[in-house]
Chain A
């Protein structure tokens, strides 16, 4: 897979950045900001793909990302309100946002099969990066039991999305798209 600079930066920051930025790991308010941003950038990419792709498969996948990540964010927002935690922007959440913005900017210059391929390739890298961050940083660092439980509960969805994206990538390449 071709790795763009913004994508590589995002993966590195997600996988390792959080641990190096905070020796003791991110705090719960910082984790909350990372979770909300991570979901939001995928919702934004999904909205663009749903409106721009010509492929029914890609449109359906994009809709699933919008629905599922939207639901995770709704649950996360409700939980942080209940816990009186204010999401605190931090280098990881800011880099995620920048990675998401760069991805959107790139996707907007593409169309047709090139758009579908770039969108799905990025979805695979994004879900792999988030899974790595969940396992190595976010879940181990979460202090509040309910926040930790929410992170654990969302993990299988990221895994399923990754499998779905990989299957779609393979289908697109077979169809010559």
Chain B
């Protein structure tokens, strides 16, 4: 009976390493990038991601903002204060985007 215990431990090790391997195999699916909207700015102002990755815009200002591509490839609509909006980048390209409420706010999303 005692001889089984190391085997069980080993199985558990394999199991956990399998899960890790699965996560690492699909970085383009699992990766999440955050853009903070605060002080009337997108930070980082330029972000590069791979296709299939998620981008979360978090609005830390007191009032609503949007993340809207100039090409309208994506448009969050109003993101309320303290809320966020998630977008999965599906098509490669370089997207200039900004806040439609505050045209002075501009940034770039690069999808590879």
For chain B, which range describes its interface: under 10, 10 to 19, 20 to 34, or 35 or more residues? 10 to 19
Known contacts A64-B102, A71-B81: does B64 contact A160 (CB below 8 Å)? no
Shortest Cβ distance from residue A146 to the other chain B in the assembled complex, whole angstroms: 14
Binary interface encoding of chain B residues 31-71 relative to chain A, with 1 for a CB under 8 A from any of its CBs, else 0: 00000000111000000000000000000011110000000
When distances are taken between beta carbons in the complex, the residues of chain A under 8 Å from B64 are 67
Q: Are B41 and A156 in contact (CB under 8 A)?
A: yes
- Nearest CB in chain A to that of B64: its residue: A67
Q: Are A153 and B39 in contact (CB under 8 A)?
A: yes
Shortest Cβ distance from residue A155 to the other chain B in the assembled complex, whole angstroms: 8
Q: Is A75 located at the chain interface by the 8 A CB criterion?
A: yes
Q: Are A163 and B104 in contact (CB under 8 A)?
A: yes
Give the complex CA separation of A64 and B40 in angstroms. Answer: 13
Shortest Cβ distance from residue A55 to the other chain B in the assembled complex, whole angstroms: 15
Q: Is B101 located at the chain interface by the 8 A CB criterion?
A: yes
B interface residues (Cβ-Cβ under 8 A, vs A)? 39-41, 61-64, 81, 101-105
A interface residues (Cβ-Cβ under 8 A, vs B)? 64, 67-68, 70-72, 74-75, 153-154, 156-157, 159-160, 163-164, 167
